[in-house]
Amino acid sequence: MFIETKNLTKKFGGLAAVNKVDFHIEKGKINAIIGPNGAGKSTFFNLISGFHRPSSGTVLFKGTDITKLPANKIAGLGISRTFQTTSLFEQSTVLDNVIVGHRLRTKSNLFDAILRTKRLKREEKACRDKAMEVIEIVGLTHASDKMVASISQEEKKRTAIALALATDPEIIFLDEPAAGINSDETQGLINLIKQLNQRGLTICLIEHKMSMIMNLADHIMVLNYGEKIAEGTPKEISSNDDVIKAYLGGSASA
Amino acid sequence: MKIMNKRTGLIALFVLAILFPLIFQNDYYTHMLTLSFIWAIAVYGINLLAGYTGYLSLAHAGFFAIGAYSLGLLTVKAEMNFWPALVLACLITSVVGLLIGVIALRTKEHFFAIYTLCVGYIIYLVIDKWDGLTGGVRGLIGINAPSNIGPITFETAESQYYLVLTFLVVVIFVIYRIVHSLTGRTFLAIRNSEELAQTIGISTMKNKLTAFVLSTFFAGLAGALYASFVRFIGPDIGSTAIMFDLLMYLLVGGIGTLSGPLVGTLMLVILSQNLQFLQEYRMLIFGPILTLIIIFYPRGISGSFFDWKRKRRNQTGNVLKPIKVEEG
Ligand SMILES: Nc1ncnc2c1ncn2[C@@H]1O[C@H](COP(=O)(O)OP(=O)(O)O)[C@@H](O)[C@H]1O
Ligand SMILES: [Mg+2]
């Protein structure tokens, strides 16, 4: 099992945002988590990526317990993510935003900086090359020198994905990558996600629009009020009664 | 071509700085400029932390004072030679910076500012009250000028000017190198968003601590130079009034820019010398100026100048050239 959560729970005060969720992510697949707003999807990502400490339960990556690792260590293991709202550096170029994404694979320190050592020059080139490579993958080569503030919402999403890719991940978590962009652009992003997957990257994405997921994901989990109410292939999910109820505005307990 | 212009500009500035004492032959101006350079070194330190890493510290007048008192006490009471004392003073300040940074950096934004404000005040109080060591309010007198290096002595105003200028140039060079390296990019990523920095695998605590300790090192260096230049120090150099002066130099010059600390410090030191006759009421002029600058030019004089140049370049139809934030 690639990534596995066992009994994962996060309580905010009295509210269980994620409640005893057992889930597994298969290597090389496109996995998806769906559910209504407030279902706990983002929180679930935050638990796996080390942003929140779970109240209980464990997260395993390739069989090792990573539950207590800080976010930057988890990134180092090859687990990358994007945020629901992008927080790029607007006053800087796409390229400059992405270059620092490869920093975690470099070693040069303050002394390398002051002395401008060979190692620093080599690693700076490595970061720049990596950035250009991932910018090309996401299809933004033409915009690499533009200020982030001046590019479209969809291009910002692509930049955020490029930044995540620059860390050399084995798996990438995408939190509502299609939020706030129109349906044509959404199709473009779907193609990008498929293409990343074909390159061997494992994907796990959050989406609250069911339509987008159904012809993209291999494996789906549905969250409602923090609980897993269903899991399976798109076909199984779309015919599941509990899921239909949750999506038709009824509560999970109804 | 652009780079040539910038380079020639820098060289011209440097030559001007070298020729200044020879042209003016006026000890008062030389003295004033030396003092501004010393303050500028401290402001560069604050800028590395506040401008490039996003943590506004209000404790740095305290670190300046630690550097100054370390040098003063080591040379006067321990009768140490100036040069080892200078090195030790910087180290002492950095170690204190490290200890304080480990705690202070657990807070963010205004909590960090308030916390460091308290730290700065405590440093001031310790210096003021620890009569046995620091001489308390009476201060520390009889600090020697820097001791000579072989045949070069530092007794005259010009020689001290050149010594301090050398330190300033080295400091600017070091900061330039840092800002334009992967380490600098890491600092900027933290300033932009700590959450995002963590997701791309950056150890934010380690990097923030590096920036913090570095910035205290520069503050300590400035303090030590100040002590041997002015030769008398009192607890007031660690006061919040000094802290706000330094902050004002930084904000007016341009926070997060490379030239800002020097531009702001020179301008305001010269301005305040010329407004000396107003005494305490100088603030009546500075206050409104500062407020206006923060409202209309949040990137200060240097930052706004480069923003303006970039806009003009774009309007004249040149290819849209990306500007790195570090420019300035
Ligand atoms: N940091 C937080 N503190 C308190 N409550 C939170 C926090 N983050 C999320 N929540 C709550 O947890 C629940 C799930 O939120 P979230 O995971 O963002 O949902 P989703 O991403 O599925 O829309 C919501 O009720 C939300 O208000
Ligand atoms: Mg969400």
pLDDT at res. B10: 84
Coil, strand, or helix at residue A13? coil
- Ligand 1: which residue has its CA nearest to atom 4? A12
Chain A residue with Cα closest to B187: A100
Confidence of residue A135 (pLDDT cuts 50, 70, 90): very high
Indicate whether B258 belongs to any domain. Answer: no
Q: Minimum mean pLDDT among A18-27, A242-251, B138-147: which range?
A: A242-251
For the ranges A200-209, B1-10, B170-179, the one whose mean pLDDT is highest? B170-179
Confidence of residue A248 (pLDDT cuts 50, 70, 90): low
Confidence of residue A249 (pLDDT cuts 50, 70, 90): low
Q: Greater confidence, B13 or B35? A: B35
Indicate whether B193 belongs to any domain. Answer: yes
Amino acid at B71: L
Closest CA relative to residue A127, chosen from A147, A103, A109? A103
Q: What is the mean pLDDT of chain A?
A: 92
Q: Would the pLDDT of B185 be above 90?
A: yes
pLDDT at res. B315: 65
Question: Does the distance separating the beta carbons of A51 and B195 come in below 8 Å?
Answer: yes
Question: Does the distance separating the beta carbons of B204 and A75 come in below 8 Å?
Answer: no
| Residue A239 distance to chain B (closest CA, Å) | 36
First to last CA, chain B: 17
Domains of chain A: 1-78+169-254 (3.40.50.300), 89-168 (no CATH)
Q: What is the pLDDT of residues B204-230, one digit of tens each?
A: 999 999 999 999 999 999 999 999 999
Indicate whether B8 belongs to any domain. Answer: no
Report CA Rg, chain A: 19
pTM metric for this prediction:
0.91
Confidence of residue B3 (pLDDT cuts 50, 70, 90): low
Q: What is the pLDDT of residues A21-80, one digit of tens each?
A: 999 998 999 999 998 889 999 999 999 999 999 999 999 999 999 999 999 999 999 999
pLDDT at res. B93: 98
| Residue A162 distance to chain B (closest CA, Å) | 11
Distance of CA A216 to the CA centre of its chain: 15
- Report the pLDDT averaged over residues B19-26: 84
pLDDT at res. B322: 43
CA atoms B49, B214, A101, A62: torsion sign: negative
If you search the block for the tokens 């180092």, which residue do you land on?
Answer: A76
Ligand nearest to the CA of A46: 1
DSSP classification of residue A141: G
Note down the domain range covering B109: 27-238
Question: Does the distance separating the beta carbons of A87 and B195 come in below 8 Å?
Answer: yes
Ligand 1 pocket test: pick from A11, A43, A173 the residue with the most ligand atoms within 8 Å of its Cβ.
A43
pLDDT at res. B316: 57
Residue A91 main-chain phi, psi, to 5 deg: -85, 25
Q: What is the pLDDT of residues B102-137, one digit of tens each?
A: 999 999 999 999 999 999 999 999 999 998 898 888
What is the count of structural domains for chain B? 1
Indicate whether B63 belongs to any domain. Answer: yes
Indicate whether B179 belongs to any domain. Answer: yes
Ligand 1: lining residues by beta carbon, under 6 Å: A 12, 15, 17, 35, 37-43
In whole angstroms, how far apart are CA B195 and each of A53, A196, B50? 15, 24, 18
| Residue A125 distance to chain B (closest CA, Å) | 10
pLDDT at res. B325: 46
- Which of A91, A103, A114 comes nearest B186 by C-beta? A103
Distant-in-sequence, close-in-space partners of A9: CB < 8 Å, separation ≥ 6: A16, A18, A19, A20, A21, A54, A55, A56, A57
Indicate whether B158 belongs to any domain. Answer: yes
Coil, strand, or helix at residue B200? coil
| Residue B185 distance to chain A (closest CA, Å) | 6
Question: Does the distance separating the beta carbons of B189 and A70 come in below 8 Å?
Answer: no
pLDDT at res. B144: 87
Confidence of residue A215 (pLDDT cuts 50, 70, 90): confident
What is the rounded distance in angstroms from the CA atom of residue A15 to the CA atom of residue A12?
5
Q: What is the pLDDT of residues A147-197, one digit of tens each?
A: 999 999 999 999 999 999 999 999 999 999 988 888 888 889 999 999 999
- Residue A39, both tokens: 């279902």
Reported ipTM: 0.91
What is the rounded distance in angstroms from the CA atom of residue B252 to the CA atom of residue B260?
8
Where are the extended beta strands (E) located within B59-177? 140-141
Confidence of residue A106 (pLDDT cuts 50, 70, 90): very high
Indicate whether B279 belongs to any domain. Answer: no
Q: What is the mean pLDDT of chain B?
A: 89
Q: Would the pLDDT of B80 be above 70?
A: yes
Own/partner pairs for B289-298, CB < 8 Å, 24+ apart? Answer: B289/B252, B290/B248, B290/B251, B290/B252, B293/B251, B293/B252, B294/B251
By the CB criterion, residues less than 5 angstroms from ion ligand 2 are A 42, 84
Indicate whether B199 belongs to any domain. Answer: yes
Distance of CA B261 to the CA centre of its chain: 7
What is the rounded distance in angstroms from the CA atom of residue B287 to the CA atom of residue B301?
16
Ligand 1 pocket test: pick from A8, A10, A12, A45 the residue with the most ligand atoms within 8 Å of its Cβ.
A12
pLDDT at res. A181: 86
Amino acid at B230: V
In whole angstroms, how far apart are CA A185 and each of A156, A177, A193, B50, B90? 12, 11, 12, 39, 56
Question: Does the distance separating the beta carbons of B189 and A100 come in below 8 Å?
Answer: yes
Confidence of residue B1 (pLDDT cuts 50, 70, 90): very low
Q: Is A124 buried (19+), middle (13-18) or exposed (0-12) by CB count in 10 A?
A: buried
Residues making up chain A, counted from first to last: 254
- Report the pLDDT averaged over residues A137-146: 96
A66 contact B CB<8A: no
Distant-in-sequence, close-in-space partners of B275: CB < 8 Å, separation ≥ 6: B282, B285
DSSP classification of residue B180: T
Chain B residue with Cα closest to A49: B199
